[in-house]
């Protein structure tokens, strides 16, 4: 409670809040210091501040009071922004507890990479972690209601999010898949569905995609999501698709071509405006919807503030209005699009050698495949486990295909680098003018 308006809390203020004598407060503070739940700071002001361990205890204590969890298990994973733990619910069901950890040495450029501060200059890592958790929970709740394959959000408090456990594996840890073309098809369509909801994931890669034993795909990690109207939205969308294509091409030998660009996709519902994603346009919402959304966000923040003051309210975030739920059912999300899976042999008929272009362009099979390419995106299967006869016939064609894929990826990287350098030049000129 003292850190609500103090970065370093002096001992006198702790006595005031705790309503204890100085000797009793000193004993409690020493005990917390030994357990590393708080830290003593003696720089400009002598006082104490919470550590991430202490912040974890407060959040977990709130979940226990709500009756949501009863046991914390092993760590499932750790990243540059969070730690993931397995926990047990009251009925022995498995949940996932995500604890935000902004400020690590591996990722300290939060002010430039994320928009949590909304233009403010000063920040505290605990406060930024809390903002990150609130933002991610809001995204996850909205996406889950629109039937996007995500973990089910259960509750959140301070910098912690409680969600359901997906029985799957991160795509980065998967070495082989029975149907890689089908999985890539689902991943690309999932990215397109997000755009149809007005959102760009911005980190849609092998680290944030889970694959189950049945080869179903789930997406996780949402705090960096932005609106399609964001000034960098098109570049971020293209970066997601290129990274995904590059991973599948290198590991599983499949590649998706002719993916629609961001400007060619139609937004069916502006979820970005409803949850105020970074870069959204207020014109996409009506006045009364903006007022209702502001009230929901303020009430969620008040609940967190009340719990930090030990009010024990334990209320869940407010539900959306029934009118919005009816609109969701009416609008919906466009059905999944199927991508054509083509073997390397059939692709080689479409992408011939420079020496064989004249002879192959005259064939009827290549003409029929041109219509398929224009209708839908392609997935090209570069399966290396072919029979000896097939491998002998097309060794040069498969190498040509790999070369064309690598050249295409290099061109995309060069375009992104040019955009970054131009943006940095503009920023430098603006800083000089000011």
Mind telling me the catalytic residues? Answer: 203
Cα distances (Å, whole numbers) of residue 173 to 177, 209, 234:
11, 10, 29
As to burial, measured by CB atoms within 10 angstroms (0-12 exposed, 13-18 middle, 19+ buried), residue 12 is exposed
Quick one: three-class SS letters along the chain? CHHHCCCCECHHHHHHHHCCCHHHHHHHHHHHHHCCCEEEEECCCEEEEECHHHHHHHHHHHHHHHCCCCEEEEEEEECCCEEEEEEECCCCCEEEEEEECCCCCCCCCHHHHCCCCCCCCCCCHHHHHHHHHHHHHHHHHHHHHCCCCCCCEEEEECCEEEEECCCEEEHHHCCCCCCHHHHHHHHHHHHHHHHHCCEECCCCCCCCEEEECCCCEEECCCCCCEECCCCCHHHHHHHHHHHHHHHHHHHCCEEEECCCCHHHCCCCCCHHHHCCCECCCHHHCCHHHHHHHHHHHHHHHHHHHHHHCCCCCCCCCCCCCHHHHHHHHHHCCCCCCCCEEEEHHHHHHHCCCCCCHHHHHCCHHHHHHHHHHHHCCEEEECCCCCCHHHHHHCHHHHHHHHHHHHHHHHHHHHHHHHHHHHHHHHHHHHHHHC
CA angle, 381 then 386 then 387, to 5°: 155
Report residue 143 as tokens. 């996406």
Integer angstrom CA distances of residue 430 from 110, 145, 419, 423, 427: 21, 42, 17, 11, 5
Does residue 352 contact residue 345 with C-beta atoms inside 8 Å?
no
Distance of CA 129 to the CA centre of its chain: 15
């Amino acid at each position: 409670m003292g850190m609500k308006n103090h970065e370093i809390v002096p001992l006198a203020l702790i006595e005031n809040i705790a309503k204890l004598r100085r000797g009793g407060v000193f004993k409690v503070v020493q005990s917390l210091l030994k357990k590393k739940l708080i830290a003593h700071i003696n720089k400009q002001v002598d006082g104490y501040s919470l550590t991430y361990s202490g912040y974890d205890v407060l959040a977990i204590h709130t979940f226990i009071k709500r009756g949501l969890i009863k046991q914390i298990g092993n760590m499932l994973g750790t990243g540059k922004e969070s730690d993931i733990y397995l926990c047990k619910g009251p009925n022995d069901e498995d949940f996932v507890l995500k604890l935000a950890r902004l400020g690590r040495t591996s990722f300290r450029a939060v002010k430039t990479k994320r928009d949590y501060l909304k233009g403010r200059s000063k920040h505290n890592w605990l406060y930024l972690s809390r903002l990150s958790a609130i933002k991610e929970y809001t995204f996850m709740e909205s996406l889950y209601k629109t039937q996007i394959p995500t973990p089910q959000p259960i509750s959140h408090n301070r910098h912690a999010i409680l969600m359901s456990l997906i029985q799957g594996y991160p795509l980065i840890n998967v070495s082989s898949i029975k149907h890689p073309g089908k999985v890539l098809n689902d991943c690309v369509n999932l990215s397109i569905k997000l755009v149809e909801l007005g959102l760009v994931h911005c980190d849609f890669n092998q680290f944030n995609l889970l694959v189950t034993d049945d080869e179903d795909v789930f997406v996780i990690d949402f705090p960096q999501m932005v609106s399609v109207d964001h000034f960098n939205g098109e570049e971020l969308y293209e970066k997601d698709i290129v990274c995904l294509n590059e991973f599948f091409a290198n590991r599983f030998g499949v590649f998706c071509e002719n993916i629609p660009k961001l400007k060619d996709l139609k937004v069916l519902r502006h979820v970005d405006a409803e949850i105020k994603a970074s870069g959204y346009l207020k014109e996409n919402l009506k006045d009364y919807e903006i007022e209702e959304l502001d009230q929901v966000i303020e009430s969620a923040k008040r609940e967190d503030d009340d719990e930090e003051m030990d009010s024990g309210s334990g209320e869940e975030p407010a539900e959306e209005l029934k009118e919005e739920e009816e609109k969701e059912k009416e609008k919906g999300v466009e059905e999944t699009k199927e991508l054509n899976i083509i073997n390397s042999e059939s692709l080689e008929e479409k992408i011939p050698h420079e020496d064989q272009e004249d002879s192959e362009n005259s064939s009827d099979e290549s003409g029929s495949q041109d219509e398929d390419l224009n209708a839908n995106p392609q997935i090209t299967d570069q399966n290396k486990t072919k029979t000896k006869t097939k491998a002998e016939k097309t060794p040069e064609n498969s190498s040509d295909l790999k070369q064309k894929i690598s050249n295409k990826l290099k061109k995309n990287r060069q375009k992104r680098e040019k955009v970054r350098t131009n943006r940095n030049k503009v920023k430098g000129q603006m800083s000089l003018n000011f």
